[in-house]
Amino acid sequence: MEHLLAAESIPTLVLALILGAVIGSFLNVVISRLPIQLQRQWQRECAEMNGTPLKELDHFSIAVPGSHCPECKASIAWYDNIPLLSYLVLRARCRHCQTHIPLTYWLVELISCLAFGLVAWHFDFSLPALVYVTVFSLLICLFVIDWNHQLLPDQLTYPLLWIALLWSLSPTSELSPDSAIIGAVAGYLSLWSIYWAFKLVTGKEGMGYGDFKLLAAITAFTGATLLPVTILASSVCGAIVGLVMIRGKSRSQPIPFGPFLIGGGILSYFFGTDLLFSYWRWLGGV
């Protein structure tokens, strides 16, 4: 049995791809429901603080109610909820009301599927594999939620940070606990400093505190040394996409920074050291 689950084996890859697609389907539930759940929670808290009555809402969570179309409220049958396949079979439309299903749902399942496959292909079913797929799952949720709602929930960023710090205790981790802690502090303070400098100069808030926490979690994985790579890559990508998005639109339209931090963090984790060495070699040759 062990050789069937060995790294770079076909059974391992197939099982991981299927598991990744199923988890991707669950991530879509988190992505669509967590912001609504948080909004309801904030409404209740505000009502309690102000002493104003709040209309009792139906129970709503990640698990309740069951899968349904957000437009016509019709329940989704199991055969219309098969990861990756149902979206294609239904041609991206609800079976009952023909409402268009956003492409994001299918892309989340596809990216999760591929991420699980790549991790299992290299690491087998092991502790590093579990850490990587958990991290990828959290990043996918944070990416899409921030892109749609300009929101980085603490319920996702804090677990990402705790995983990074705990993972630094493992013998297989590339960073020591000291490096992970220093990286987290450096990541948080870097954006915190930029935030307050921008606010003092312009009187406006350029980003939210969720961005600070997200970068702290990312640099807990990469270390403070690669922080410049993460920030530079994030800023360049954000500037390019921002210029495209504001063309013909209001300049005051908010653009989430979290997705670009995630992209820059992934680039730094896998290629940051090589990029830094290449830069220093180029600088020495100038």
Both 198 and 252 in one domain: the answer is yes
Q: For residues 196 and 261, state if they share a domain.
A: yes
> In the chain, count of helices (H) and strands (E)?
9, 0
Q: Is 138 inside a domain boundary? A: no
Whether 193 and 267 share a structural domain: yes
Mean pLDDT score of the chain: 87
Specify the pLDDT at position 2: 42
Q: Answer yes or no: do 268 and 199 share one domain.
A: yes
- CB-side neighbour CA atoms (13 Å) of 252: 1
Same domain as 273, residue 170: yes
Compute the distance between CA of residue 266 and CA of residue 268 in angstroms, rounded to an integer. Answer: 5
Q: Is residue 142 part of a domain?
A: no
Confirm whether 135 is domain-assigned. no
pLDDT tens digit string along 101-123? 999 999 999 999 999 999 988 88
If asked whether residues 225 and 106 sit together in one domain, one would say: no
Let me know whether 158 and 112 are in one domain. no
Q: Looking at the structure, do residues 156 and 264 belong to the same domain, yes or no?
A: yes
In this predicted model, what pLDDT tens digit does every residue of 228-262 receive, in sequence order? 999 999 988 888 887 777 665 555 667 899 999 99
177 & 79 share domain: no
Judge whether 147 lies within some domain: no
Instruction: Give how many domains the chain has, as a whole number.
Output: 2
User: Quick one: 282 and 160 in the same domain?
Assistant: yes
pLDDT at 211 over 90: yes
Task: Encode 42-67: b = buried (16+ Cβ within 10 Å), e = exposed.
Answer: eeeeeeeeeeeeeeeeeeeeeeeeee
State whether 108 and 186 are in the same domain.
Answer: no
Query: Model's pTM, two decimal places?
Result: 0.90
Residue 136 maps to a domain: no
Query: Are both 246 and 121 inside the same structural domain?
Result: no
The domain in which residue 250 lies consists of 152-286
Which pLDDT band, with edges at 50, 70 and 90, does 157 fall under? Answer: very high
